[in-house]
Amino acid sequence: MSALAITGPEQTLVGRVEPKSDEVIAVFRNGKLIDVWDSGDRARALWLKYRPGSLTYARILRSDIRIDTTIESVLVDDGWLLPQVKAQTFVAINSAKHYGALRLRLEKRGLGFMDALTAELSGEMNHFVRTLFADRTHADVMRNPTPGGLGVGTSLLNGLFVVDSVHIMSAGADPQFSELRTAVQGRKVDVEVNARAELNAQARGLSLHEYENPQLVEMRLQQAHELELAAARQELELSRLKVESERDHLNLQKAELDARSQVAVEAVRNVTALSRAQKSGVLPDLSLGIGARSTAPSTDSSDPEFAPTVPAPVHDLARDPRLMADWKRAGGPGRAVKGLVRAEDDGAALVLIALDGGAAAALDLPVLLGQAFPGEDVVVLPDSDSLLTWIDTLVHERVPRIDDLQPALVLEERDDTLRILVGSQSGRAGKVVKAVLEPATLIVPSLCALLPYDDVTVSTALV
């Protein structure tokens, strides 16, 4: 479809101009729309002469705009297909809101607005003509192609046009219509009865075939019912299996908790005995902790996961190069440092250092540490072969009131993870764990950075 030629050329406005009875005038200043004048109005250049800018105008056809449309394969209400329909439609520009739709397009695209609307108009006319036939039967179209008032008042292009009249120039009949009509008459089939049966079937939500074969409907309903029953049975079976799986999982957790509870109980019972042994000088100072699994049913020292004590990995500690540079810059000997790391979290920082006892004996540590790490919190681990002694020192430094909770610790190595299992003689193991895991203490982050484990965890001995 080619663009509708409804706009005249843009001309300079001199004096006054008047629109004809079938047109409006659009006035522009420097290419920008000023106003639209209808029939009977006059646009005077004199009225606006005191404003800067050149005035131009263009005439726009507002009525009796003809649109010819040819549509292929038009479907009518009773299912027949018209091979081709030719329609002649006369429209007028919508005058609502003082030609509001026309103003909008002139402001956006100027006088060439119809060029941009050609494809949209073609698609809308295709839809419009098909709509005119959608609720008409084939016989009605053949008898009276253009009934009175057909399509009148319809709005097109988002309100730009309003339909004044529609004339169906031609509407070809479906070639199969005549053949079927002859066949129906030859078999003396009452078309009205078939149509009534189809309406009844549609009212019941059935096809005509299902309406005429109720046993087919019954069979389909039975099949649907059986499928629903099978799905319900399957859902019940899945629910049963899930419940059994959850029960087995809970039983396994209970067994593990019972085993760990027994270990924890035995560990707490031995705290007093360990304290007495320390006072007699039999064992090293383990004031905060006890050896891993020291009183568990199996204490075979050949088992790597349940060794009586966990040695300090003095030869596998991490040394941060930047911290080592600060240490040496302050005059500290590098050979004296076995491990040196910094842990940071949410603005808090902690420097953790492990020193060789012999090499560091002659050092003035307070002065050296103050020069190497000015203003930072520093914890120096004691010269000990026991990892539990290191952790004891770190916990006491970072949680000063920990002794009020009467803690008892057990170390356990498992799958490259160091587990700190916590008990309490006062039954407050959970509070001990909370105090150790407090982010501001940086206990766990500093141990993770220093020690050669993939992870360090803290939990109650019953977990």
CB atoms within 10 A of CB 279: 9
- Looking up tokens 């105008």 gives 57
pLDDT at 146 over 60: yes
Q: Please indicate, yes or no, whether the overall pTM of this predicted structure exceeds 0.85.
A: no
Residue 180 has pLDDT above 70, yes or no: no
Collapsed DSSP state (helix, strand, coil) of residue 55: strand
Half-sphere exposure of 163 (CA within 13 A, CB side): 22
pLDDT for 198:
81
The Cα 451–Cα 354 span in angstroms is 11
Q: Taking residues 438-461, what's their average pLDDT?
A: 91
Between β-strands 378-381 and 348-355, what pairing exists: parallel, antiparallel or unpaired?
parallel
Q: Which three-class secondary structure state does DSSP give residue 202?
A: helix
Say what the pLDDT of residue 291 is.
36
- pLDDT confidence of residue 113: 85
Q: Which residues contact 106 (CB under 8 A, 6 or more apart)?
A: 26, 33, 36, 113
Structure token digits, residue 13: 């406005």
Closest CA to 3 of 97, 120, 81, 102: 120
Is residue 269 pLDDT above 60, yes or no? no
> What are the tens digits of pLDDT across the range 79-89?
899 999 999 99
Contacts (Cβ under 8 Å, ≥6 apart) of 206: 217
Asked if the model's pLDDT at residue 37 lies above 90, the reply is: no
| Mean local confidence (pLDDT), 204-227 | 80
pLDDT at 289 over 50: no
> Of 59-68, 115-124, 453-462, which one has max mean pLDDT?
59-68
Instruction: State the pLDDT at residue 403.
Output: 86
Task: Quote the CA–CA distance of 263 and 412 in Å, as a whole number.
Answer: 12
Q: Is the pLDDT of residue 218 over 50?
A: yes
Question: How many other CB atoms are found less than 10 A from the CB of residue 191?
Answer: 12
pLDDT score recorded for residue 207? 78
* Contact in structure between 417 and 455 (CB atoms under 8 Å): yes
Residue 170 confidence (pLDDT): 93
Distance from C-alpha of 165 to C-alpha of 315, rounded to nearest angstrom: 99
Section 109-114 average pLDDT: 86
pLDDT (tens digit per residue) in 310-361: 888 888 899 999 999 999 998 888 888 999 999 998 888 999 999 987 767 7
Tokens of 425: 């003689």
Reported as a single tens digit per residue, the pLDDT across 357-411 is: 776 777 888 888 898 999 889 999 988 888 999 998 999 899 988 888 888 888 9
State both tokens at 393.
Answer: 């020192």
DSSP string, 226-269: HHHHHHHHHHHHHHHHHHHHHHHHHHHHHHHHHHHHHHHHHHHH
Confidence of residue 119 (pLDDT cuts 50, 70, 90): confident
Is the distance from CB of 43 to CB of 32 less than 8 angstroms?
Answer: no
How confident is the model at residue 426, as a pLDDT? 80
d(CA 235, CA 433): 43
> pLDDT band for position 278 (50/70/90)?
very low
pLDDT at position 286 over 50: no
Question: What average pLDDT does the chain have?
Answer: 81
In one-letter notation, the amino acid at residue 426 is: S
Q: Which residue has the higher pLDDT, 97 or 461?
A: 97
State residue 209 phi and psi, 5-degree precision: -65, -45
Name the DSSP class of 286: -
Q: What is the CA radius of gyration of the chain?
A: 48
Q: Where are the alpha helices (DSSP H) in 38-174?
A: 96-109, 113-116, 118-134, 138-143
Asked whether the predicted pLDDT for residue 448 surpasses 70, the reply is yes
- What pLDDT sits at residue 2? 67
Q: What is the mean pLDDT of residues 195-216?
A: 77
Q: Is the pLDDT of residue 284 over 50?
A: no
Please spell the DSSP secondary structure of 75-114, one letter per residue: E-TTS-EEEEEEEEEEEEE--HHHHHHHHHHHHHHGGGHH
